[in-house]
């Protein structure tokens, strides 16, 4: 069985807007073909490549270009669309909600709605959003909810992040900025003790609190385990050497016959 767990699509409305890719307002645009991250293109690639199951997420880079009051409606629209996609292609596509952990109570409520009411299988967050990081105090209610929901969280880099003012040229945002922002977010989650504060009963049930698997741009795209993160995962009870199994909580109901290890609470962090 082939499972693709890192695939992005936009809602039709956001794809049609063809917003600038730097901040939702400026920067290069997709051009006359429009944004390629739409369901039709995704399904074509899915079937052509013999994929059995795909986990669908929305990178939602357009959120950066929206005013604060526009963010929640955009997130809610994705949740509804993601649920429709998951239902229409039941057994083939499984969707994650996209949430801003530092967005406040309304976003926490939306995360709960997406999982409990709409049946989405996990939560996608950015490693940073407009200067906010997932270890910020404002995000604590989000992590508490995640523990209660017992679903995987995918942490993904924004289009630009820390140090972006010097990375808008020479593709430095892709080669340096995004991987660095992702590593920074995970490092802060570790050193600030966010992961250690998980309830003891859950930590005993889930010995691998975090699987830290970061694709660093080293050499010709060689995948590297960042040593400090690997050590953190090893100290939690198991070597961080398999990114796919980190999605066990979401994939187990999809593939009942599979034999999964005890699932981690906070899952694989990746850079495409």
pLDDT of residue 178: 85
Q: Could you read off the pLDDT of 117-171 as tens digits, one per residue?
A: 999 999 999 999 998 999 999 999 999 999 899 888 999 988 777 777 788 778 7
Tell the residue number behind the tokens 């967005």, with chain if given: 103
- The mean pLDDT of 32-55, rounded to a whole number, is 88
Are residues 270 and 215 in contact, defined by beta-carbon separation less than 8 angstroms? yes
Other Cβ atoms less than 10 A from the Cβ of 227: the count is 9
Q: Average pLDDT of the chain? A: 74
| Percent of residues, the chain, with pLDDT higher than 70 | 66
Per 3-state DSSP, what percentage of the chain is helix, strand, and coil (rounded to 5)?
45, 10, 45
Q: Could you read off the pLDDT of 74-92 as tens digits, one per residue?
A: 999 999 999 999 999 999 9
Residues 93 and 101: their CA atoms lie apart, in Å, by: 24
pTM: 0.74
- Residue 115, pLDDT above cutoff 90: yes
pLDDT of residue 196: 78
List the strands of the sheet with 3-8, edge to edge: 3-8, 53-57, 93-98, 122-126, 153-156
- Residue 239, pLDDT above cutoff 60: no
Q: How far is CA 102 from CA 138, 210, 242, in A?
A: 5, 20, 29
Residues 181 and 164: their CA atoms lie apart, in Å, by: 10
- The mean pLDDT of 211-235, rounded to a whole number, is 35
Residue 114 phi/psi, 5° resolution? -60, -40
pLDDT of residue 1: 84
Residues 253 and 156: their CA atoms lie apart, in Å, by: 24
């Amino acid at each position: 069985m082939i499972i693709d767990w890192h695939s992005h699509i936009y809602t039709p409305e956001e794809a049609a807007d063809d917003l600038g890719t730097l901040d939702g307002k400026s920067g290069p645009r997709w051009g006359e073909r429009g944004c390629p991250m739409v369901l039709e293109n995704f399904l074509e690639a899915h079937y052509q490549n013999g994929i059995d199951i795909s986990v669908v997420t929305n990178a939602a880079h357009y959120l950066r270009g929206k005013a604060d009051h526009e963010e929640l409606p955009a997130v809610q629209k994705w949740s509804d669309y993601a649920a429709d996609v998951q239902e229409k292609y039941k057994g083939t596509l499984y969707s994650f909600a996209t949430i801003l952990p530092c967005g406040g109570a309304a976003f926490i409520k939306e995360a709960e709605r997406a999982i409990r009411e709409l049946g989405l299988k996990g939560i996608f967050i950015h490693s940073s959003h407009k200067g906010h990081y997932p270890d910020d105090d404002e995000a604590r209610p989000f992590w508490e909810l995640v523990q209660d929901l017992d679903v995987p969280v995918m942490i993904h880099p924004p289009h630009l992040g820390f140090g972006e003012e010097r990375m808008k040229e020479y593709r430095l945002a892709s080669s340096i900025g995004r991987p660095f922002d992702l590593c920074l977010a995970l490092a802060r989650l570790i050193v600030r003790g966010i992961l250690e504060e998980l309830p003891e009963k859950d930590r005993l049930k889930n010995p691998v609190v975090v699987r830290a698997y970061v694709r660093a741009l080293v050499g010709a795209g060689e995948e590297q385990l960042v040593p400090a993160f690997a050590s953190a995962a090893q100290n939690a009870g198991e070597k961080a050497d398999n990114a796919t199994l980190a999605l066990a909580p979401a994939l187990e109901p999809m593939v009942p016959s599979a034999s999964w290890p005890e699932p981690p609470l906070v899952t694989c962090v990746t850079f495409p």
